[in-house]
Structure 1
């Protein structure tokens, strides 16, 4: 029966039958649970199997989002959130060509959202998978637990399998995909897992986790690599600070007994403290990474640092596309209005804090004649936080026998999107071909280029579908990189002198 929302389509999955909606040849199934609600007996514990339901479950609307705080006010217009209450927050969304339902033959893209491990969901509007489905890709977006609920690390967690619950949620979602995606038309042997920012850091980490082995054939990491993991000592420090703010013992049991809303607020306050008053004497490495909730190398769930694992051959059989945006850090300087306040002493002090020597900073200045100190600092921070870690990821995989492709996204120009340029997260609506949605305009600009959309989206479709984005793999000898603008330009070692300035530092 045709309704205002389209034509109902039913699919049998783990847990029961779901009823999605077909519109224009693309069927969407939203809010489908892949694990039990992580509350009550399941709170702050590894994900439990999905609870079956009777009858037909409506899957025409997004499901609950994981508990989270708000982005700081300056980022809210740029990164609009969905906030949907409810306990069944471990859910996912599927878009697929309607005529492919049940065939089990199409490539699959599983998207892991970003948000500093504090924010985000699979229901952000720019993650709509319709364009991928129209191009023959089954697109899946997922939720996972955030902040303390997903990344708390306390004494007793190492060896107990209780660390990195947010990552364990992602593994549970990937297992669900393996078991169910054929019903939607996807081939479980052709799964690509992708993510941006914290999502890309998650994807990178998943490739080093034994529990995720065999669940994906390919991966894409956008603006996030293996550099941003925590040691157990740092994880325990974060837990102790959080517990002190809550007035409880620094144990998982004591923190799990805190009312959810109180815990979410306290975790958000802790992140604000780290990010606005990053005292190295107090926070150590977190004063630079600014991510107090992140994957912990706990020795069990994540046995060792991902770069070590890759160099030793972990996930060598998984094809990986890794990259970043040309002007990532402009998001964090333009949005709060700080970029024009950076003077020369601030630039020198900031570059020094990241370990860049005077001659290296002079190189950045020379390569940007006429640039303000804020513009130069943005370039330095971009490379420290995003570009160089992506390169180290590719280098480690090369050492371990893996095949990796590198990209850099270079659009739009800062004049086209309020000074942001090719800043952090800007590529997402281009990749999903959702750049023309009004909610994407603060990031992508009011008149995003159709050619850039076609290039970015088409590159992702090509990689997901064929395992090749269209240029040669990355090696330390050639450093071949696909530079994405209105077209793909293949460049060996772009800005190589600046890359080399970080050798031995980052």
Structure 2
């Protein structure tokens, strides 16, 4: 056996020709990108159809040494053929249970990798009909997660005629450290800039995998959803995509935002006094990647909407290469966003995730901010906790959420405050100036495929939890066996069809195959949402009725992000 990694570029060309000559023979596919050749592998979708997969593709130089905390640099070309049959390292994090110290830390700072899945490789990209592309950005609160197959497997989506890309980006302090001092050259948003560089990689290379760079849709859930919305409002991302799906997150939620110079507060909270930005940076530079993960953990957990994160995306000072230098509200009011078709929405009971985190954190002895009715007032309103106005707002909200059991009332309040209201506000602001269609949804379907319900074994709790829809879009390590024609199979294919129709046509229902016409939003009173449940229908939702109260409060104290 010889090592494919070190063979010459000319041998790469020979193997490319052999791929085409032996197209019916099971062999490792080889693709030449602008950075070098890749050897992939073959897998099968849920229907048994063949697709090619190329994993662990580096799209940036390792963000270590002088590049730590800074904007990523494109990957230098390599010689020979790189093995792309295994996933690259995740970025450092404590998996999904960041409050659970018994879960090991994983990942490596050299983590800027992406994965490409495609059913067809071009013999000649100039004559092949190129396929639309879906680029998926994982969630995880900007502190955990990765784009790997355990949670974002391609077997469901690869039943449709698209190319799928998933990716990693830097998390936590490594991804979102920011300083206002330009001499430190760390203005923030490195993790978002990682995603932007991955999108540029797609523009430069996706033809080699049969994908059309002129038909790219970006999608993400939770922090991935708010990331997608950041790309929609960022002028620096113009031309990198042509449609966007925003699941359970937006830039008008409270939790995606960090504080410029928040590192000083972080360092002081862990017991190291830093008087200047430079002193805070020196402290954080001296720590290992895993120590940086633990630093954020030491600060405890807050899910309160009126708490502003110390480390997360920020509005940067103007400079070359900046990701965002203006408030999203200012951008939307001026119509300066990327004018692409949008899908935005949420699940029926997003707040069960926060309720679970609170209970689990307390059981682990981790500090957690307690729920209160003042806690759910978003910080963007500028209303200070403890003031007369805050208490008046809190009393109004408490009266609004008294329709179910005490636990479910709190869950509904979490759902709206942390996710639903910010998404509804994003739709309202987009409608003022957006020139492309906007589709709104709410997911209420419940089967054994609901991801978080299955992960936490909380089948006794009503509604669809945060991230539950991922079990329909993606094949996962916890996916149960699904029989053809079962409810799970029907709903899985239905959601995949809606999403991939949008990827292909920028319209989730271009025909009557699904027996519904998903119409774009035209008015905010109320916002017309497609309920994706056992049926596809437009219904009057409990959230819509609660939004009336929120909108009255927000007219008095509108969102401000600056």
TM-score, reference length from structure 2? 0.76
The alignment of Structure 1 onto Structure 2 pairs a total of residues equal to 473
Residue 382, structure 1, aligned to residue 412, structure 2: no
- 2:140 corresponds to which residue? 115
Give the superposition deviation at 1:33: 0.6
Question: What does residue range 68-83 of structure 1 map to in structure 2 within 5 Å?
Answer: 68-72=93-97, 83=106
Structure 2: distance between partners of 1:121 and 1:6? 29
Give the superposition deviation at 1:208: 1.7
Residue 64, structure 1, aligned to residue 89, structure 2: yes
2:376/2:418 contact within 8 Å kept: no
Structure 2: distance between partners of 1:16 and 1:149? 28
Give the superposition deviation at 1:396: 1.0
Structure 1: distance between partners of 2:238 and 2:76? 25
Residue 188, structure 1, aligned to residue 213, structure 2: yes
- 1:417 corresponds to which residue? 459
Structure 2: distance between partners of 1:377 and 1:55? 57
Structure 1: distance between partners of 2:214 and 2:104? 32
2:179/2:187 contact within 8 Å kept: no
Q: Report the secondary structure of 1:476's partner residue.
A: coil
1:82/1:123 contact within 8 Å kept: no
Question: What does residue range 50-449 of structure 1 map to in structure 2 within 5 Å?
Answer: 50-72=75-97, 83-85=106-108, 87-99=109-121, 102=125, 103=128, 105-157=130-182, 162-228=187-253, 234-242=259-267, 245=270, 247=272, 250-251=277-278, 253-255=281-283, 257-261=285-289, 263-270=291-298, 272-275=299-302, 288-289=306-307, 291-300=309-318, 301=322, 302-334=324-356, 337=359, 350-355=372-377, 357-366=394-403, 368=404, 371=405, 373-402=406-435, 403-412=437-446, 417-419=459-461, 421-432=463-474, 434=475, 437-440=476-479, 449=488
Of 56-65 and 395-404, deviating more is 395-404
- 2:499 corresponds to which residue? 460
Which structure 2 segments of 5+ residues have no match? 1-18, 45-49, 364-369, 378-392, 448-452, 481-485, 510-517
1:311/1:398 contact within 8 Å kept: no
Summarize the Cα distance change of 1:111–1:158 in structure 2 as closer, same or farther, 3 Å threshold.
Answer: farther
Q: Report the secondary structure of 2:180's partner residue.
A: coil
2:257/2:308 contact within 8 Å kept: no
Give the superposition deviation at 1:486: 2.6
TM-score, reference length from structure 1? 0.84
Give the superposition deviation at 1:405: 0.9
Instruction: State the Cα deviation string for residues 77-121 of structure 1 (Å, max 9, x = none).
Output: 9xx999454x53111001111355743611111111111111011
2:58/2:114 contact within 8 Å kept: yes
Give the superposition deviation at 1:488: 1.5
Summarize the Cα distance change of 1:412–1:118 in structure 2 as closer, same or farther, 3 Å threshold.
Answer: same
Instruction: State the Cα deviation string for residues 374-394 of structure 1 (Å, max 9, x = none).
Output: 111100110111111111111
Q: Report the secondary structure of 1:32's partner residue.
A: strand
1:154/1:236 contact within 8 Å kept: yes
Q: Report the secondary structure of 1:234's partner residue.
A: coil
Q: Report the secondary structure of 1:298's partner residue.
A: coil
RMSD (CA atoms): 3.4
Instruction: State the Cα deviation string for residues 139-165 of structure 1 (Å, max 9, x = none).
Output: 100111111111011231599573211
Residue 19, structure 1, aligned to residue 45, structure 2: no
1:325/1:409 contact within 8 Å kept: yes
